[in-house]
Amino acid sequence: MRIFLCFLALLPLVSQAQDSTQTTIHQQSISTSDTAVRPPVVARKLLSKEVIRIEFFGPGLIRETRIGKSTTLNFHLRLIGAAQPGQEYRVVNQRPTVQKVLRFRINPEISAAIRKFYNLEKRKAAGKSIRYNSGNYVALRANYILPAVYKSPYLEDSRGAGVAALWGFQRTYPKRFYLNLELGLRAAEYTEPRVLLTGHFLIGYTLR
């Protein structure tokens, strides 16, 4: 939990350091009597101002907001499930037996991530879509898993915070069908502190 709270405390500082769009007005003297003023030149914003998505197999809700020329802040609320095989002693026909069972739990998860997109200009120049922030990025992500909303008996709960450094692949296809893949390293403290490989694959729908 401490890792997640520290990450959220640093978000305002990071967002203030992002690229800001500047407007420049050039004036050029043509003659002693006439002066031409060029219109303001505004840096192109290739990222969408705000995108909201639904994750199908969380399920979950994603909100991505532009905070810089090539940077976004991504919030994600979802449900995650875990299953674990086990055994239970039961009485069947007055005889004790051991039966195999499948225990599972469902936990809410909240996360926040800073994403830095790259090669958007190249994608657009090559005729590839960058709609709804379709592109590749690197990210720093913090998450926190809350106590289970449902848990089978005798199954240990899993909760805690983690921070991950990620490379991401994000695409919004025709009819707003959404795909996201993230790979990287994660430092977590769910049961004990450890560093491990991590990955996420999301399928969803872009609302706007």
- pLDDT (mean) for 55-78: 96
Residue 173 included in any domain:
yes
Assess whether pLDDT exceeds 90 at residue 79.
yes
9 vs 72: CA distance, rounded Å: 17
Compare 120 and 152 and report the one with higher pLDDT. Answer: 120
Calpha distance 15→25 (Å, rounded):
26
> How many domains are there within the chain?
1
Flag whether 47 is in a domain: no
76 lies in some domain:
yes
- Please tell me whether residue 110 adopts helix, strand or coil conformation: strand
In a domain, residue 129? The reply is yes
Q: By residue range, what is the domain housing residue 59?
A: 2-8+55-80+107-206
When pLDDT is cut at 50, 70 and 90, the band that residue 42 belongs to is very low
How confident is the model at residue 11, as a pLDDT? Answer: 53
**Do the domain assignments include residue 74?**
yes
Higher pLDDT: 186 or 191? It is 186
Q: Is 183 domain-assigned?
A: yes
Domain annotation covers residue 24: no
Q: Confidence class of residue 9 from pLDDT cuts 50, 70 and 90?
A: low
Mean predicted lDDT score pLDDT of the chain: 81
Q: What is the dihedral of CA 48, 53, 58, 59, to 10 degrees?
A: 160
pTM: 0.73
Report if residue 19 sits inside a domain: no
| Interval 13-33 mean pLDDT | 41
CA-atom Rg of the chain in angstroms: 24
- 3-to-34, 100, 161, 186, 189 alpha-carbon distances in Å: 62, 38, 6, 12, 9
Q: Residue 86 and residue 64: Cα distance in Å, rounded? A: 40
Asked whether residue 180 carries a pLDDT value surpassing 50, the answer given is yes
**CA triple 159-162-166, angle to 5 deg:** 140
Q: What is the pLDDT of residue 130?
A: 94
